[in-house]
Structure 1
Amino acid sequence: MKRGQDETATRLHPFRTAVLRGLGVALPPLLTIGIFIWAGRFVYENLAAPVISLTTDYIGVKPVYAIPCILSLFLLVLYLLGKFVAVRLGWIFWTLFERGIDRVPLVRNVYGAVKQVSDFVLSEREIEYSRVVAVEWPRRGIWSLALVTSESMVDIEAAANEPVLAVLIPTSPMPMTGFTLTIKKSEAIDLNITFDEAIQFVVSCGVVIPPKQLRRMTTGEPGLAASTRAAAAPEDALDISADAAREAPPEDETL
């Protein structure tokens, strides 16, 4: 009975592997499409539909031309607003507007958070990661991947009495969030991996290991795996010698 179950499981293994591989290929685009459909439906039901109803009922625009007209008008308003803020007078008005919002207790908290997110997303200056390092965090003995962002602050460097680094530790499986830490430069280990390889490692929760690190494990370069194989080599040699002695034919003692 057990042998029959093992044979059935062996036959189903290629099928299961193919199904899981197909799921891994199809799931990312399907989820991406689903998220965009949900976002588009949310925007249409809460923003576009009321505006279209307003334009068709009161202005007299046909529903077919409502969306292009609204988009064109919206882009025109954004363009004029950007040009207005770019000049000195517009910048003064915008500064006074933000100061007025900053005086409203509840509104200033919400507005400040939204402004920080929008400035981060729409900023033309990208965050540059100089290299990938490994740091012991959240405690000694636990290593985490970190992205070096800058040389951090002078006051912290003076307090630490040695160079420090500002690093971002991304979280799995969504590396868009993480923890910003300031560590001593001597406590960071430089890793020979790229930024993309580090993100793949984080997103896959450690399943996708960078090829360079895999090559070290398999070719016997300095590391734990190599030392383990070196220590086990004499035992393997003894086992091979013993097997060869057992399999060798007996010598003919007759002369």
Structure 2
Amino acid sequence: MTEFQIPPPRKRGVLASLRASFLTGLVVVLPVGLTLYIAWAFIGWIDGWILPLIPAAYQPEALLERMFGPEVNFPVRGLGVIVFLIFTIIIGWIAKGLIGRSVINWAEGLLDRTPVIRSVYSGVKQVTETFFGTKEKSFDKTCLVEFPRKGAWALGFVASKPKGEIAERLPGGEDYIGVFVALTPFTSGALIFVPAKDVIMLDMSTEDTAKMVVSAGLVTPTPKVIEA
């Protein structure tokens, strides 16, 4: 019998090698480039709102001209972000004091008596407190929930428990939680209220869950060792 021999692997051509190198470089460059572009655009968006409120003498271009002369002239971004951060920190520090709370309560009372505006302010305030408030954490845990039918499981973000009329009208005898089911590519989703016993809690972080949803499952988190 003749011994079976495995043929040697074919060498890649020049075009195939260039294509593989291009794809490898794209995997490295694209995430970094998109991140820098989004950060640059976000900083420019904030500057577009804040810089018009700053006097012309304190604009970045004017400061550069005074420091280095008129020959140095190039666009500078980031001053609006710095001003916004300082302003927000000062407002938060004032709001924690007695006088600040009194002023805020007076302003909220004024807004609550204004038609249309009170509805907008109330909705924005609830959303802001949900994401940034310290009283109740939402969207800091992820889970699996049967959606959109029984037997099909979807990734979800644990929201707050139902309150008000929703809590009163849900069938009694169950402990319900709100789950936001994000849809790929994360442009929309569904908020559902399900019994807590029907939800499978996950150890995945919200960042890993968001990446998995946005990438349609292409990006999966590193599996953790589950203790028995």
TM-score by length of 1: 0.55
Aligned to 1:20: 23
Q: Which structure 2 residues correspond to residues 43-58 of structure 1 after superposition, within 5 A? A: 43-49=46-52, 51-53=54-56, 55=57
Aligned to 2:105: 95
Q: CA deviation at 1:186?
A: 4.6
Aligned to 2:213: 202
Selected match of 2:182 from 170, 179, 183? 170
Aligned to 2:173: 161
Aligned to 2:195: 184
Q: Secondary structure at the match of 1:159?
A: coil
Q: Which structure 2 residues correspond to residues 22-37 of structure 1 after superposition, within 5 A? A: 22-37=25-40
Query: Aligned partner of 1:86: which letter?
Result: K
Q: Which structure 2 residues correspond to residues 21-170 of structure 1 after superposition, within 5 A? A: 21-49=24-52, 51-53=54-56, 55=57, 63-64=63-64, 81-124=91-134, 126-127=137-138, 129=140, 132-133=143-144, 135-149=145-159, 155=167, 159-170=171-182
Identity %: 23
* Structure 2: distance between partners of 1:129 and 1:75: 24
Q: Deviations over 1:69-110 (max 9, x none)?
A: 999987776565444433334322221111112222233344
Give the RMSD, CA atoms, in angstroms: 4.5
Q: CA deviation at 1:205?
A: 0.4
- For structure 1, the residue ranges without an aligned partner over 5 or more in a row are 1-6, 214-255
Q: CA deviation at 1:203?
A: 2.5
Compare relative contact order (CA 8 Å, sep 6+) and give the higher one, 1 or 2. Answer: 2
Q: CA deviation at 1:204?
A: 1.8
* Structure 1: distance between partners of 2:157 and 2:43: 34
* Structure 2: distance between partners of 1:25 and 1:204: 17
TM-score by length of 2: 0.60
Is the radius of gyration larger for structure 1 or structure 2?
A: 1
Aligned to 2:72: none
- For structure 2, the residue ranges without an aligned partner over 5 or more in a row are 1-9, 68-75
Q: CA deviation at 1:206?
A: 1.6
Between structures 1 and 2, the one with greater helix share: 1
Q: Deviations over 1:183-218 (max 9, x none)?
A: 134544x377623553442232022345659xxxxx
Figure out how many residues of one structure are paired with residues of the other and give that number: 198
Change (3 A) 1:136 1:77: closer
